[in-house]
């Protein structure tokens, strides 16, 4: 049998996609563009916080467990806000001391919880979006095989303090059924114009098969706008067998960066950077 090439196995990024390699293998569930590189977190290691390239650390040990997502907002006068989201207790912190724990329906239930965070400076305040992932509930839970729509929460954040009161609004995403037996969850999101771009990843009821990964715009009522970018079609084999979980804009806002948490015995973890129409 002829040896398969790296192109055939999906190791080489497709045309229009570039990579940023990790300094060493790391589990990745969230990514944020920062001056000089990309900050990443992973929920397998509570102290995991590094900036690529180079591997410089930033610390949030003791402030939350199970870091699922990170975002860094750039505000007026060069001010920045670093937010890290933990799924296990529905906890959001900033690295200046602000913190908040969220109540139902944003708490974890049956293995599904908060997975994505996005922040931007707008109208003189920090606006934050959270993604409760939805998807099929864990197979070993009493609700096994039940599917829940992803839910978005929008809130106002005060640096060093947190959220005052509750979220400004919450809504479900009107997500399509991409194929028979597949339902979408929402691992991460970014602000975009007057709406959101959401990373959607499908699974089946037993959470064994991942066939579809889309980037889809939504308005702030949860309605899809425009056509999705279907990565399983645009990226072909490069998309396969990767659990895409992290999403952010590049620092100049011209492209999206995506991260996955799949092990790769041949290479270090890679961030994929792609233009988005």
pLDDT tens-digit series, residues 184-209: 999 999 999 899 999 999 988 877 77
* pLDDT reported for residue 11: 76
Q: Is the pTM of this model over 0.75?
A: yes
Taking CA 121 as the corner, what is the angle to CA 120 and CA 125, rounded to the nearest 5 degrees? 125
Percent of the chain with pLDDT over 70: 89
Q: Mean pLDDT throughout 117-125?
A: 95
Which CATH number does the domain 20-275 belong to among 1.10.150, 2.30.30, 1.20.58, 2.115.10?
A: 2.115.10
Residue percentage of the chain with pLDDT more than 90: 56
Ordered by start, the domain boundaries in the chain are 20-275
Task: Summarize pLDDT for 17-66 with one digit per residue, the tens.
Answer: 999 876 665 678 899 999 989 999 886 654 468 888 877 888 887 788 77
């Amino acid at each position: 049998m002829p040896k398969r090439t790296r192109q055939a196995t999906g190791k080489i990024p497709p045309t229009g996609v570039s990579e940023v390699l990790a300094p060493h293998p790391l589990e990745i569930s969230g990514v944020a563009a920062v001056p000089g590189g990309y900050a990443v977190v992973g929920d397998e290691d509570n102290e995991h916080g590094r900036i690529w390239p180079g591997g410089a650390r930033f610390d949030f040990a003791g402030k939350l467990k199970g870091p699922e997502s990170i975002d860094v907002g750039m505000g007026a006068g060069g001010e920045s806000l670093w937010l890290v989201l933990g799924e296990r207790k529905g906890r959001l912190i900033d690295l200046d001391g602000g913190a908040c724990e969220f109540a139902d329906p944003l708490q974890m239930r049956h293995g599904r919880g908060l997975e994505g965070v996005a922040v931007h400076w707008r109208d003189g305040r920090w606006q934050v979006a959270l993604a409760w992932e939805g998807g099929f509930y864990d197979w070993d839970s009493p609700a096994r095989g039940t599917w829940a729509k992803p839910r978005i929460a929008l809130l106002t954040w005060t640096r060093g303090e947190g959220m005052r009161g509750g979220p400004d609004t919450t809504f479900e995403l009107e997500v399509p059924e991409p194929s028979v037996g597949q339902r979408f969850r929402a691992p991460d999101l970014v602000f975009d114009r007057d709406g959101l771009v959401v990373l959607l990843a499908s699974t089946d009821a037993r959470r064994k098969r991942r066939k579809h990964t889309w980037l889809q715009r939504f308005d702030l009522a949860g309605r899809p706008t425009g056509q999705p970018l279907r990565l399983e079609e645009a990226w072909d084999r490069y998309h396969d067998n990767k659990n895409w979980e992290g999403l952010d804009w590049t620092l100049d806002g011209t492209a999206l960066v995506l991260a996955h948490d799949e092990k790769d015995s041949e290479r270090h973890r890679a961030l994929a950077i792609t233009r988005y129409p």
